[in-house]
Amino acid sequence: MSNDKNKIEAVLFTTGRFLKLEELSTLCGIGSAGYLRTLIKEVQKDYDERESSLEIIEDAGKWKLNIKKSYLYLTEKLLDNAELDMPTQKTLAVVAYKQPAIQCDVVSVRGNKCYDHIRKLKEEGFVTSEKFGRTKLLKLTQKFYDYFDVVQEELKSKFGDISE
């Protein structure tokens, strides 16, 4: 049983995102949903008992290995040196909000500097572009959804009622 718990822990650590039971089952090679649920609860309990800085959290039937809120202050310094600087993240947010986005619309919102941001986002694999008349049509890639741990169909609802 401890080998199966280690598999769960390794998969949750490596993916760094919420996983549904079915996906976790496939990745761990554990076929029984009931057995897998029991193991996840045991791994959660193990983390709680050893007073770790990590925890297994559940949200709507999905599980994730996460840093406890009381330790986030330590990692915020590390996140300042993120792969994407803040202006590029803002440009990506506009693309995600409009999904798919017409490049000239993004430029009108973010300014001419966003051409550099879009180039970087394409290099990093977060967006793709295709010709669309005189401009380009920007679309999010699967890497975006995996990286930010968001489901494609739920993206618009996560933005809520943001006005332009």
Residues 15-27 have pLDDT tens digits of 878 888 999 999 9
The span from the CA of 121 to the CA of 92, in Å, is 7
Q: What pLDDT sits at residue 51?
A: 85
- Residue-averaged pLDDT of the chain: 84
* 34 Cβ contact list (under 8 Å, min separation 6): none
pTM: 0.51
Burial class from Cβ neighbours inside 10 Å (0-12, 13-18, 19+) for residue 43 reads buried
Q: Name all domains of the chain by residue range, CATH numbers in brackets.
A: 2-68 (1.10.10.10), 86-156 (1.10.10.10)
Confidence of residue 78 (pLDDT cuts 50, 70, 90): low
CA-CA-CA-CA torsion sign (80, 94, 102, 145)? positive
Confidence of residue 35 (pLDDT cuts 50, 70, 90): very high
Confidence of residue 164 (pLDDT cuts 50, 70, 90): very low
Q: What percent of the chain has pLDDT over 70?
A: 85
Report whether the peptide linkage leading into residue 100 is cis, meaning its omega lies within 30 degrees of zero.
Answer: yes
The answer to whether 96 and 82 have CB atoms below 8 angstroms apart is no
Mind listing the pLDDT tens digit for each residue in 88-145? 888 998 998 888 899 999 999 999 999 999 999 998 888 999 998 999 999 998 888 8
Higher pLDDT, 34 or 156: 34
Q: What pLDDT sits at residue 156?
A: 62
Higher pLDDT, 32 or 85: 32
